[in-house]
Structure 1
């Protein structure tokens, strides 16, 4: 199995995240991946996928993933049925962090219980 085949799900994820300036090469059994993620969240999920396949410190892949926008953790488009608590649980693992998302979006949100589909929310760096 080539390293590219081994890490194909990482490459597919990068494509679905629209990673910019991407390049992939394989040299001496090591996959070299480079690109720019939109946000720190996207960079983190790429690294999580790499570790899922290669372990905590994989030696068969070198990834140089930079981030285009460090000012926010992510930008989230609200889907039907979501709450700030569910969104906070997804990004931070803690529903109580909804208050941080509410504060970061106080220009468009007046009540943490009232969010609407298609609103774009800033998920702040904590």
Structure 2
């Protein structure tokens, strides 16, 4: 199996995340991946997928992923059923960090218990 075939799920995720300036090559059994993610969260998703396939320190892939917008961790569009706690759990792994999201969005949110579908929330770097 080629390294490209082994890491095809990473390449597919890169397409789904709309990684910009992407470049993929394979040399001597090592897959070289380069591109720019919109946010740190997107970059983390790619690394999580790489580690899920190749382990914590894979030797058959080299990834150089930069981040376009380092001012935020991510931007989230609210969906029906979302709460700030649920969103905090998704991005930080801890629902109690919802206050950080609320504070970063006080320009559009007046109450942490009231959010609406289609609002775009800043998910701040912690």
- Give distance in 2, aligned partners of 1:93 and 1:17: 20
What is the aligned length? 126
Q: Structure 2 unaligned runs (5+)?
A: none
Map of 2:90 onto structure 1: 90
2:29 matched to 1:26?
A: no
Instruction: Tell me the secondary structure at the aligned position of residue 100 of structure 1.
Output: helix
Shift of 1:117: 0.3
Shift of 1:67: 0.2
Q: Structure 1 unaligned runs (5+)?
A: none
Shift of 1:96: 0.5
Deviations 1:48-99 (A, max 9, x none): 0000000000000000000000000000000000000000000001101000
- Give distance in 2, aligned partners of 1:7 and 1:93: 26
Shift of 1:39: 0.2
- Give distance in 2, aligned partners of 1:69 and 1:75: 10
TM-score for the superposition, normalised by structure 2: 0.99
Superposition misfits of 4+ residues, deviation over 3 angstroms: none
TM-score for the superposition, normalised by structure 1: 0.99
Map of 2:16 onto structure 1: 16
- Give distance in 1, aligned partners of 2:97 and 2:53: 30
2:55 matched to 1:55?
A: yes
